[in-house]
């Protein structure tokens, strides 16, 4: 992956960009999942008990996920999902359970219900098959859920048609049979539609924007005896469009993103659970002091994050230090028709002039100004033409500090640092 940003950024001193402390939490006894946004530190916490399964709300999404999270307190249990060998809904019961299913935690495109797909069949999506004639995904497998209260439900995802999921579920003896629909249109811009069998509704639980999810999930671990154990951990999952690079054995104050940019990955567990470790000698949580994570958000804002404390199940509070580094262009499609991009005077006091030299006229052009905390301060649509374009931006009302000015077209983005005095 190619990252393009001004070389002047490297000349900025670390003191020019302020580190900030945030404390996203898992809740006491790890009872919550918490959505966290790097830009402003905003968090939204939701009890694990608020949902059981979740449906992809993206336009072409087909993923269906299981809620693997549960509090660590005694008596708290997670939802369990099983594939059956049943060939129809009526015969589905515990006698034809095949095996237990888990989310892969690889992407927001596929969950536990997709895990059973045949990877060699492009029309098999696990819970259902795509019909190329009708463009409908029809249910093809039958499942059993064990809910937190110990009761069982048999479940059949009948279809996904026109953006609407239709599900059918009942008690194992066929009683309390119910059919529900979940319409993606009601969750525009969201990752998932979160369904609860208790309320029998799909809820919008996530905030409008988030980068990381602090939650409980199941991951395969070595049991020490040559086998694999599915173990529930408290960890951090990357949000849609977020990429992470881990840097180990470094000095957090001087580590350079350029040395790790090729390691960026969109794996959900790129941060994961192992940023902390429980010391069996001291019975305390320890955090490595030579590790940071470079996190590139879906909005192309680059952050350096270092975990510095974890309080454990008593409060579930984690403490991290974040530093906004820049706005990057995470694409090889850097504006080919951009011959020059300059900002002056720099430092500026009242106004700044922007010189943009283009060989062609872009369909869409905009400048955006970010502060040193990664917050978008202003956006201006530009009318540009081929050749030299001169624009003026008023900055006199802005607090003194370091900013990043981005020029963006449909072809990509260029960034310049700007100091306002």
Q: 147, 154 in Cβ contact below 8 A?
A: no
Question: Is position 38 within any domain?
Answer: no
Q: Residues 32, 36, 42, 43: what is their CA dihedral angle, to the nearest 10 degrees?
A: 0
Q: 238, 266 in Cβ contact below 8 A?
A: yes
**Phi, psi for 264 (deg, rounded to 5):** -60, 135
Indicate whether 182 and 217 sit together in one domain.
no
Domains in the chain, number: 3
DSSP assignment of 187-231:
GTT-SEEEEETTTTEEE--S-SS-SEEEEEEEEEEE-SSSSEEEE
Indicate whether 271 and 170 sit together in one domain.
no
Indicate whether 230 and 305 sit together in one domain.
yes
Per-position pLDDT tens, the chain of length 421: 444 443 334 333 333 457 999 999 999 999 999 999 999 999 999 999 999 999 999 988 999 999 999 988 877 899 999 999 999 999 999 999 999 999 999 999 999 999 999 989 999 999 999 999 999 999 999 999 999 999 999 999 999 999 999 999 999 999 999 999 999 999 999 999 999 999 999 999 999 999 999 999 999 998 888 888 999 999 999 999 999 999 999 999 999 999 999 999 999 999 999 999 999 888 899 999 999 999 999 988 999 999 999 999 999 999 999 999 988 754 444 567 788 888 999 888 899 999 888 888 887 889 999 887 778 888 999 888 888 889 999 998 899 888 889 888 877 778 888 889 8
The three-state secondary structure class of 267 is coil
The three-state secondary structure class of 114 is helix
Around 230, how many Cα atoms within 13 Å sit in the side-chain half-sphere?
12
Rounded Cα gap, residues 274 and 13, in angstroms:
31
Question: Is position 273 within any domain?
Answer: yes
Pick from 245, 323, 247: which is nearest to 289 by CA? 247
**Phi, psi for 375 (deg, rounded to 5):** -85, 135
Rounded Cα gap, residues 371 and 115, in angstroms:
42
Indicate whether 269 and 343 sit together in one domain.
no
Question: Is position 389 within any domain?
Answer: yes
The three-state secondary structure class of 312 is helix
Strands 201-203 and 318-327, sheet pairing: unpaired
Q: How far is CA 219 from CA 169, 228, 277, in A?
A: 27, 10, 16
Domain interval for residue 371:
338-420
Burial of 390 (0-12, 13-18, 19+ CB in 10 A): exposed
Instruction: Out of 327, 352, 376, pick the residue that ends a domain.
Output: 327
Indicate whether 80 and 144 sit together in one domain.
yes
The model scores a pTM over 0.75: yes
Instruction: Out of 137, 170, 203, pick the residue that ends a domain.
Output: 203
Q: How far is CA 43 from CA 77, 296, 366, in A?
A: 25, 18, 29
Question: Is position 266 within any domain?
Answer: yes
**Phi, psi for 86 (deg, rounded to 5):** -60, 150
Tokens 């009761």, located at residue: 151
Rounded Cα gap, residues 188 and 61, in angstroms:
12
């Amino acid at each position: 992956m190619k990252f393009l940003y001004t070389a002047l950024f490297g000349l900025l001193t670390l003191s020019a960009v302020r580190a900030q402390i945030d404390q996203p939490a898992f809740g006491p006894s790890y009872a919550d999942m918490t959505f966290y946004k790097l830009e402003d530190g905003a968090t939204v916490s939701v009890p694990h008990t608020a949902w059981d399964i979740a449906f992809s709300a993206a336009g072409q999404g087909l993923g269906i996920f299981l809620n693997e999270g549960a509090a660590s307190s005694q008596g708290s249990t997670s939802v369990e999902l099983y594939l059956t060998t049943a060939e129809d809904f009526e015969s589905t019961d515990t006698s034809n359970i095949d095996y237990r299913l888990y989310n892969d935690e690889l992407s927001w495109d596929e969950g536990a219900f997709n895990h059973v797909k045949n990877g060699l069949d492009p029309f098999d999506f696990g819970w259902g098959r795509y019909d190329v004639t009708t463009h409908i995904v029809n249910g093809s497998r039958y499942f059993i859920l064990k809910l937190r209260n110990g009761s069982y439900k048999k479940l059949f995802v009948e279809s996904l048609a026109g953006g609407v999921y239709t599900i059918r579920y009942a008690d194992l003896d066929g009683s309390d049979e119910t059919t529900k629909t979940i319409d993606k249109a009601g969750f525009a811009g969201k990752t998932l539609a979160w369904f609860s069998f208790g309320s029998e509704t799909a809820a919008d639980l996530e905030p409008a924007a988030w980068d990381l999810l602090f939650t409980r999930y199941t991951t395969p671990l070595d049991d020490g005896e040559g086998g694999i154990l599915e173990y529930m951990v408290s960890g951090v999952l990357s949000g849609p469009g977020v990429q992470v690079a881990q840097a180990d054995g470094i000095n957090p104050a001087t580590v350079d993103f350029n040395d790790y940019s090729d390691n960026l990955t969109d794996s959900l567990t790129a941060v994961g659970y192992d940023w902390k470790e429980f010391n069996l000698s001291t019975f305390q949580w320890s955090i490595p002091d030579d590790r940071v994570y470079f996190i590139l958000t879906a909005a192309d804002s680059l952050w350096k994050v270092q975990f510095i404390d974890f309080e454990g199940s008593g409060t579930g509070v984690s403490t991290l230090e974040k530093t906004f580094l820049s706005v990057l262009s995470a694409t090889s499609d850097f504006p080919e028709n951009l011959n020059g991009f300059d900002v002056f005077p720099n430092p500026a006091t009242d106004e700044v002039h922007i010189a943009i030299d283009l060989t062609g006229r872009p369909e869409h052009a905009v400048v955006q100004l970010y502060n040193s905390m990664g917050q978008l301060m202003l956006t201006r649509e530009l009318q540009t033409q081929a050749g030299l374009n001169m624009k003026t931006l008023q900055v006199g009302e802005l607090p003194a500090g370091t900013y990043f000015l981005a020029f963006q077209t449909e072809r990509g983005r260029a960034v310049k640092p700007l100091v306002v005095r």
